[in-house]
Amino acid sequence: SRPVRIGNAAVEQTQLDVYGELLDALYVAHSHGLPTVERAVAIGRTILGHLARIWHHPDEGIWEVRGPSRHFTHSKVMAWVAFDRAVKILEQIGEQLGGAEAIDSLRRIRDDIHHDVCRRGFDPDLGSFVQAYGSKSLDASLLLLPLVGFLPPTDPRIAGTVKAIEQRLYIDGFVMRYDTGEVEDGLPPGEGAFLACSFWLADNYVLLGRLDEARELFERLLSLRNDVGLLAEEFDPRLSRQVGNFPQAFSHVALVNTAYNLTRAQGPAQQRADRRKARRHLSS
């Protein structure tokens, strides 16, 4: 049968975060030894030139809101990611793209974006970063700030953001994208918990050393999978069922990342200690 809807209105939207995603992918590929081909260099140069002109513009953000364009904090952070990763690559292969002068130019833009986000995207009264400049609303995408290296997880502004999200968006054991009752997104109020967001919270717990909480949340999310291990876009805690697009790659990518982060944080020694603790508990 044909789908009810074909395509997505986001094709006509501006989403600044996508440029950071692409440059980050190029950086990861380069870091793992894949050759930096000429075409990738050309694409990166074009993207950075375009982003340098538009990063300070409002957009529709990661959630493709159908309301008014805004200066979404996450979007600005991902613009920062684009320039940050470009600087890191250039520091290794700078002679291919203009050398020290090109690196200095990208560093200036990167630092300008960082300063802009810290000044306009953080609310001192809330002690938290906010969804968009001038807003009091929270957004689960803010959990990505320490994951992309924008600030260290121990920074008080990050700790405050995690705490605020726990208090206002962590509902019935899962993380909501944002409060649909206070955010104008062009959609009816109410939705399920976007599963990737809960994995992001688990990732933050790992970075903060809260491994027991990270594992507990991860196991809760794993329990939602269907009989063949697949996850949807969202989970409705009230109805206890998966809802939204199915299967959802976003959810599975987040699952893999959290599994990797937990494994790396624990390490073999920690895993052995956990097994010994479990054996002692069973024998007591």
Show me where the domains of the chain are located: 7-120, 133-284
Q: What is the mean pLDDT of residues 211-240?
A: 85
Whether 235 has a pLDDT exceeding 60, the answer reads: yes
pLDDT for position 267: 56
pLDDT for position 273: 47
pLDDT in tens, 71-87: 999 999 999 999 999 88
One-letter amino acid for residue 65 of the chain: V
CATH architecture group of domain 133-284: Alpha/alpha barrel (1.50)
Whether 133 has a pLDDT exceeding 70, the answer reads: yes
Mean pLDDT, the chain, rounded, equals: 84
Of 178 and 145, the structure prediction assigns the larger pLDDT to 145
Share of the chain above pLDDT 70, in %: 83
pLDDT band at 183 (very low <50, low <70, confident <90, very high): low
